[in-house]
Amino acid sequence: MAPPKMQASRPLRYGFLLLPNASMADFAIASEVLTCANQLAENRCFECLSLSLDGQPVALLGGQRLPVELPLSHAPRLDALFVLSSDTHCEVNTDEISRAVNQSGNDKLLVAAIGCGSYWLARAGLLTGFRATIHWQEIGRLSEDYPEVIVSSNLFEIDRNRASCAGGAATLDFMISLVSSHLGGEFAARLSERFSMERIRPGNERQRIPLATRIGGSQPKLTEAVSLMEANIEEPLSTDDIAFYVGVSRRQLERLFKQYLNTVPSKYYLELRLNRARQLLQQTSKSIVQIGLACGFSSGPHFSSTYRNHFNITPREERAQHANQHSEHSL
């Protein structure tokens, strides 16, 4: 189920529940997107309301105390409730959250989480059977503590009337996506220009989890090799070149990739280039040939056949499919 559509008679009222150690940056980004949307539309399309569990100022990440407008229990009828948190270890009365949602009287209420907010929604029993994401540092904990939640490492998830976002820069993509669902893709594109965004990242794009975090910090040669690959997409380096630049033999490099990433350098490199091509197909108007060349493929046919073999879809079909999905989402 998509978020509730724009009502012509009144603005959509979005409540932001700030939990202890919430990020001021996440709150500022989310509310600023809605403020700018109102300005761009020259209409009061969205209304923001700051909330805390008890109505008292909230101690944010870094120690700043932020006054709020109302306690959650006194909030008026909302179209969306956003739960903001950067901490999964603080004391939170999640019964208050579940009670407010269950007693809202709005079966179309969008309940969303930003940063680590999905951990608290899961504890409140509000994410059972839903897809959800969380900041990459807490993915393991959310999965382990709440196996009934379908946890992803995506930038954001919108699953029926539940949504979640990894926080940080992803908050901007997430909020603009919500605005797009109400005011259309063309409006969202204009809004993104206000924030000097190169592109609006889709929710199914994965969070950039540092390689050192995934494999541990004890393999600097492997981390350096992957960084070289990421910096040389248009003109790919050979495996021998990469081994030379990081100061290991080819055999040593292949052993590192096999042991820690369960693949070989050439395959890992190819997948990096193909994933980059997929982003360009979905997010730019460059021609397929231009994208293929930008991702290190010698010709259009070579790019198309390699892309089809990996994704089971041609670049042209990928672009058309994404355009159709975007058009339907904007209706």
Q: What is the pLDDT of residues 263-299, one digit of tens each?
A: 999 999 999 999 889 888 887 788 999 999 999 999 9
Mean pLDDT of the 201-212 span: 78
Q: Is the pTM of this model over 0.85?
A: no
DSSP 8-state symbol, 203: T
How many residues does the structure list for the chain? 331
- CA proximity to 26, closest of 16, 12, 36: 16
Strands 131-133 and 150-152: parallel
Name, in order, each residue with C-beta under 8 angstroms of 217's C-beta and a sequence gap of 6 or more: none
Q: What is the pLDDT of residues 130-173, one digit of tens each?
A: 999 999 888 888 988 999 999 988 999 999 999 999 999 999 99
Report pLDDT for 212: 64
Task: Specify which residues 82 forms β-bridges with.
Answer: 16, 112
Residue type, 43: N
3-state secondary structure of 38: helix
Q: How far apart are the C-alpha atoms of 172 and 170, rounded to whole Å?
A: 5
Report pLDDT for 146: 94
Rounded (10°) CA dihedral 172, 174, 180, 186 = 50
Burial class (CB in 10 A: 0-12, 13-18, 19+), 78: buried
Q: DSSP characters for 294-331?
A: HTT-SSHHHHHHHHHHHHSS-HHHHHHHHHHHHHHHH-
With a cut of 70, say whether residue 216 has pLDDT above it. Answer: no
Report pLDDT for 261: 86
Q: What is the pLDDT of residues 96-121, one digit of tens each?
A: 999 999 888 777 899 999 999 999 99
Long-range contacts of 233-239 (CB under 8 A, 24+ apart): 233/272, 233/273, 233/276, 233/294, 233/295, 233/296, 234/293, 234/294, 234/295, 234/296, 235/296, 236/269, 236/273, 236/296, 239/265, 239/266, 239/269
Task: Specify which residues 229 forms β-bridges with.
Answer: none
Share of the chain above pLDDT 90, in %: 69
Report pLDDT for 7: 47
Q: What is the pLDDT of residues 238-254, one digit of tens each?
A: 999 999 999 999 999 99
With a cut of 50, say whether residue 4 has pLDDT above it. Answer: no
Q: How far apart are the C-alpha atoms of 233 and 252, rounded to whole Å?
A: 23
Q: What is the pLDDT of residues 173-199, one digit of tens each?
A: 999 999 999 999 899 999 999 998 878
Q: What is the pLDDT of residues 9-65, one digit of tens each?
A: 689 999 999 999 999 999 999 999 999 999 999 999 999 999 999 999 999 987 889
Which domains does the chain possess?
12-195 (3.40.50.880), 211-327 (1.10.10.60)
Report pLDDT for 327: 52
Higher per-residue pLDDT: 324 or 42 = 42
